[in-house]
């Protein structure tokens, strides 16, 4: 191992916590900074809807879910992949994990509080100095390596710096001042844009009255990007849900409300009895359409089509909807854009600033929901700590 070094880690999300853990475990003197008064605020937000920590896809398929250099993802996930992360949570943080639906892993508690609390305790036991409420605004060369600054105040000099400042989602405009720190140094940066976000749909008022807040479960969505099964939620502005995040761009989509039946099977069910019922009533009765699905058909399909059994069957299998605009960054699960890869070497060190590293969602990569986001931050955090401690994996 190299001699013990003084290293500052800036940002206490999953990427920063993993870097700090790896470096402190290797014997380095680590100071962890965050501008907020608590650690890992975004993990708490992520845990609000069930903390999905990783995914059970095999590694080669897993790595294909990321934009950015394929070689990096293969190596980085290969060095510390989903199973390593699950073992870490169970053995080092003492928290159970489980495999839920759709190949996703969760922490047993579902939320982030225990994970963050136990990780903080572990970092303190590893002698990591945790400095909160401290906005880092700049860094510059010093005799000792790199000086970290908050406005004009020096936060100390360090042998190395690791930035893990997060992406653009859920932040206020004020909270996103950090890109200028890098842009001023001539480093390339792609502006953040919403990713994994809801989309606006021009709902008629009558539809909203009936369906706002309703889930539309087990659908298959077809968009320009392909097909995705899952659940949708109707909101006052449009739609949320994994299939919508996957669609990811404005345009026409088709919603299959009964993906497990063929069009012929849907037709057969609509013609099932000789009762004197309208096609819509038959659909409700023989296809068990949920209230949300029923409202979608009733309000979003041409009225003629819902009066004709064959036309209705086709609409149930392929209801067209127009996605207008994505919701803003401040409401998105993640962001695309960030510090460009061309600034970085293989170890995720800034080529122009030796000894300064960057990890996590602040870099220019994107991935879908499903545990891929947190896993990438964890794997990159581990990657940097290995390179800084041992010069590689
Ligand atoms: C609603 C929601 C649900 C989500 N659900 C999931 C999920 O279930 N599974 C999943 O994989 N991902 C999920 N994500 C995404 C996931 O939370 C992020 O991808 C992940 O937290 C990014 O980690 P990070 O370490 O890169 O940055 P972050 O977690 O964003 O941490 C960055 C830290 O840096 C600090 N910071 C920023 N600038 C400065 C500065 N200048 N000085 C000092 N400190 C600074 C911030 O305060 C922050 O604590 C969700 C996100 C949201 C918003």
Q: Hey, is 117 helix, strand or coil?
A: helix
| CA–CA dist 245, 33 (Å, integer) | 32
Q: What is the sign of the dihedral through the CA atoms of 365, 392, 54 and 230?
A: positive
Pick from 12, 16, 37, 46 the residue to mutate for probing ligand 1's pocket: most ligand atoms within 8 Å of its CB: 46
Domain extents for the chain?
Answer: 6-194+329-390, 199-323
Q: How far apart are CA 129 and CA 131, in angstroms?
A: 6
- Distance from the alpha carbon of residue 167 to the mean position of ligand 1, in angstroms: 7
Joined tokens for residue 269: 């069910």
Residue 334 Cα to ligand 1 midpoint, Å, equals 8
Most distant CA pair in the chain, distance = 89
pTM over 0.75: yes
Protein residues whose CB sits closer than 6 Å to any atom of ligand 1: 10-16, 33-36, 40-43, 45-46, 51-52, 135-136, 164-166, 169-170, 178, 333-334, 360-362, 371, 373-374, 377
pLDDT in tens, the chain (393 residues): 457 899 999 999 999 999 999 999 999 999 999 999 999 999 999 999 899 999 999 999 999 999 999 999 999 999 999 999 999 999 999 999 999 988 999 999 999 999 999 999 999 999 999 999 999 999 999 998 999 999 989 999 999 999 999 999 998 766 688 999 999 999 999 999 999 999 999 999 999 999 999 999 999 999 999 999 999 999 999 999 999 999 999 999 999 999 999 999 999 998 887 788 888 888 888 998 889 999 999 999 887 888 888 999 999 999 999 999 999 999 999 999 999 999 999 999 999 999 999 999 999 999 999 999 999 999 999 999 999 998 754
How far apart (Å, rounded) are the C-alpha atoms in residues 42 and 87? Answer: 22
Which residue's CA is minimally distant from atom 8 of ligand 1? 52
Q: Judge whether 371 and 196 are in contact, CB under 8 Å.
A: no
Q: Which CATH architecture has domain 6-194+329-390?
A: 3-Layer(bba) Sandwich (3.50)
CB 359 within 8 A of CB 17: no
Query: Which of 165, 177, 338, 380 for mutating ligand 1's site (highest number of atoms within 8 Å of CB)?
Result: 165
Closest residue by Cα to atom 13, ligand 1, is: 46
The alpha carbon of 169 and the centre of ligand 1 are apart by a number of angstroms equal to 8
- For residue 373, which atom of ligand 1 is closest to its CA? 11
């Amino acid at each position: 191992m190299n001699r013990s070094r003084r290293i500052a880690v800036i940002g206490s999300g999953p990427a920063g916590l993993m870097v700090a853990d790896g470096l402190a475990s290797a014997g380095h003197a680590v100071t962890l900074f965050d501008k907020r008064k608590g650690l890992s605020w975004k993990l708490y937000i992520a845990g609000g809807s069930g903390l999905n920590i990783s995914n059970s896809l095999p590694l080669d398929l897993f790595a294909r879910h990321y934009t950015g250099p394929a070689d990096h993802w293969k190596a980085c996930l290969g060095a510390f992949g989903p199973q390593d992360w699950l073992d870490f949570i169970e053995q080092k943080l003492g928290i159970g994990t489980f495999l839920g639906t759709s190949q996703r892993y969760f922490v047993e508690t579902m939320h982030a509080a225990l994970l963050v609390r136990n990780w903080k305790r572990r970092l303190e036991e590893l002698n990591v100095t945790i400095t909160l409420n401290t906005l880092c605004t700049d860094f510059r060369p010093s005799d000792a390596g790199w000086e970290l600054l908050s406005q004009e105040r020096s936060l100390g000099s360090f042998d190395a710096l690791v930035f893990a400042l997060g992406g653009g989602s859920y932040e206020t405009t004020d909270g996103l001042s950090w890109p200028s720190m890098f842009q001023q140094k001539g480093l390339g940066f792609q502006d953040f844009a919403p990713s994994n976000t809801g989309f606006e749909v021009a709902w008629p008022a009558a539809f909203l009255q009936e369906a706002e807040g309703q889930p539309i479960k087990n659908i298959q969505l077809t968009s320009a990007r392909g097909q995705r099964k899952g659940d949708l939620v109707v909101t006052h502005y449009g739609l949320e849900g994994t299939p919508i995040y996957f669609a990811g761009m404005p345009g026409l989509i088709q919603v299959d409300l009964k993906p497990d039946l063929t069009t012929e099977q849907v037709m057969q069910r609509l013609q099932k009895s000789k009762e004197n019922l309208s096609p819509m009533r038959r659909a409700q009765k023989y296809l068990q359409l949920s209230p949300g699905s029923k409202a979608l058909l009733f309000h979003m399909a041409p009225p003629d089509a819902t009066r004709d059994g064959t036309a209705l069957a086709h609409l149930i299998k392929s209801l067209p909807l127009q996605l207008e605009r994505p919701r803003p960054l401040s409401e998105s699960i993640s962001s695309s854009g960030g510090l460009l890869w061309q600034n970085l070497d293989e170890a995720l060190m800034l080529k122009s600033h030796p000894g300064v590293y960057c990890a996590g969602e602040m870099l220019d990569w994107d991935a879908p929901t499903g545990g891929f986001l947190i896993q990438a931050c964890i794997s990159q955090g581990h990657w940097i700590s290995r390179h800084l401690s041992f010069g590689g994996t």
